[in-house]
């Protein structure tokens, strides 16, 4: 079986995309399109790098984007494959590659990293959301099956579009490696905040400053965080995991957009949750993140905070978690496998693909 994986803007080593590439490689040759300049061929993987648009002037950028999208459409129309696996879609032709796959009678699996219609449109274009939801519905109808990072997010999308009968597979952002939890005695009294995207932590600032007054330090990895005591650049994955493993807690509390009910926050299950637990570090999660809060409480791998409560209430809860630290480490030791990618999960994914392929 031959597969075509469209990574679109994702780079070659994107953890989520590469995971599907490596799994599909076990079924045969994989043509792998990604954003980049260098060819990275290895056994049974034919890499297809496409240079991302980078023009600063808007008109030139849109021209580059259109050419980038045309190259992807060309791949879909001309390569010899049995399965097309999309991690995103060309922005200038959101239905074009879906229709091209179906015109060739090929099988199509569409992986949803986020709630696409909401993520695709900037907040200032919210008035166009109805149109985007209609386009997204057609994408789903043209797909043979769906993979998604969050069951709650998928349910939200399928209900909204009334596309209720598609085969689906839940593929969370599992960690790639596991570290043994360090005891409290070897931990820094430190709260780490990991990520590339700049998101607002205005609602968190007051209680974090109070925790600093109580002896905690704040560290950021991969971004500028104006209240951090220590700021580290983006790190290779193993190094990032080691840094997280040395911290007392990993903070997952922020606001991506002005709308506090932004669905991609509420139903998100980001890498940082799975990576933190796999690194052996308890998390501090905002209760607004319903999907994450549910997992954290189910497996007792951290503490859930409500940022609408008083500073005293929040800091007391976190300090109690620090005092009860070994309880969280025991829970992580017991439940870490729920957060880590392994051969069993990969085989379940492969079985799903084989069940969909024509």
242: containing domain: 184-339
User: Residue 120's pLDDT is what?
Assistant: 85
Q: What is the pLDDT of residues 28-55, one digit of tens each?
A: 999 999 999 888 878 899 999 999 999 9
In a domain, 178, yes or no: no
Q: Are residues 142 and 47 in the same domain?
A: yes
Q: Are residues 256 and 239 in the same domain?
A: yes
In a domain, 127, yes or no: yes
Q: What is the pLDDT of residues 155-195, one digit of tens each?
A: 999 999 999 889 999 999 999 999 999 999 999 999 999 98
In a domain, 179, yes or no: no
CATH number at 124 reads 3.40.50.2000
Q: What is the pLDDT of residues 210-266, one digit of tens each?
A: 999 999 999 999 998 999 999 999 999 999 999 999 999 999 999 988 888 889 999
Q: Are residues 311 and 348 in the same domain?
A: no
Q: Where are the beta strands (DSSP E) in the chain?
A: 3-6, 30-35, 45-50, 83-86, 107-112, 145-148, 168-170, 188-194, 217-221, 230-232, 247-252, 283-286, 302-305
Q: Are residues 24 and 143 in the same domain?
A: yes
In a domain, 346, yes or no: yes
Instruction: Report the range of poorest mean pLDDT among 61-75, 76-90, 115-129, 307-321.
Output: 115-129
User: Residue 171's pLDDT is what?
Assistant: 96
Confidence of residue 198 (pLDDT cuts 50, 70, 90): confident
Number of structural domains (the chain) is: 2
Calculate mean pLDDT across residues 254-281.
93
- CA 209 to chain centroid, in Å, comes to 28
Which of 260, 258, 235 lies closest to 246, judged by CA? Answer: 235
Q: What is the pTM of this model?
A: 0.93
Q: Are residues 323 and 352 in the same domain?
A: no
Q: Are residues 105 and 160 in the same domain?
A: yes
Q: Are residues 303 and 351 in the same domain?
A: no
User: Residue 358's pLDDT is what?
Assistant: 66
In a domain, 61, yes or no: yes
Q: Are residues 29 and 148 in the same domain?
A: yes
Q: Are residues 38 and 107 in the same domain?
A: yes
């Amino acid at each position: 079986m031959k597969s075509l994986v469209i990574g679109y803007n994702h780079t070659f080593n994107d953890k989520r995309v590469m995971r599907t590439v490596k799994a599909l490689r076990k079924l045969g040759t994989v043509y792998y399109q990604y954003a980049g300049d260098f060819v990275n061929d290895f056994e049974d993987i034919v890499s297809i790098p496409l240079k991302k648009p980078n023009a600063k002037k808007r008109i030139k950028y849109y021209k580059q984007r259109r050419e980038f999208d045309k190259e992807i459409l060309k791949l879909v129309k001309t390569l010899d494959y049995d399965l097309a696996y999309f991690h995103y879609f060309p922005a200038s032709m959101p239905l074009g590659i879906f229709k091209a796959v179906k015109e060739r009678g090929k099988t199509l699996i569409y992986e949803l990293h986020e709630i696409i219609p909401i993520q695709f449109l900037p907040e200032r274009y919210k008035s166009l959301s109805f149109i985007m939801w209609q386009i997204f519905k057609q994408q789903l109808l043209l797909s043979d099956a769906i993979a998604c990072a969050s069951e709650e997010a998928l349910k939200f999308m399928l209900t909204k579009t009334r596309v209720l009968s598609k085969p689906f597979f839940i593929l969370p952002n599992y960690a790639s490696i596991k570290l043994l939890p360090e005891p409290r005695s070897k931990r820094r009294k430190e709260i780490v905040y990991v990520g590339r995207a700049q998101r607002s932590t205005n609602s968190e600032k007051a209680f974090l400053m109070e925790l600093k007054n109580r002896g905690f330090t704040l560290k950021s990895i991969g971004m500028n965080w104006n209240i951090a005591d220590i700021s580290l650049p983006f790190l290779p994955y193993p190094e990032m995991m080691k840094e997280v493993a040395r911290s007392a807690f990993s903070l997952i509390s922020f606001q991506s957009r002005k709308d506090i009910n932004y669905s991609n926050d509420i139903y998100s299950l980001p890498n940082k949750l799975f990576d933190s637990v796999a690194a052996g570090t308890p998390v501090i999660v905002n209760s607004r993140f319903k999907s994450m809060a549910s997992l954290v409480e189910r497996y007792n791998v951290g503490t859930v905070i409500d940022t609408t409560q008083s500073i005293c209430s929040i800091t007391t809860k976190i300090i109690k978690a620090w005092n009860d630290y070994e309880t969280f480490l025991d829970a992580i030791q017991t439940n870490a496998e729920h957060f880590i990618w392994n051969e069993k999960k990969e085989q379940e994914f492969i079985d799903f693909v084989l069940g969909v392929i024509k």
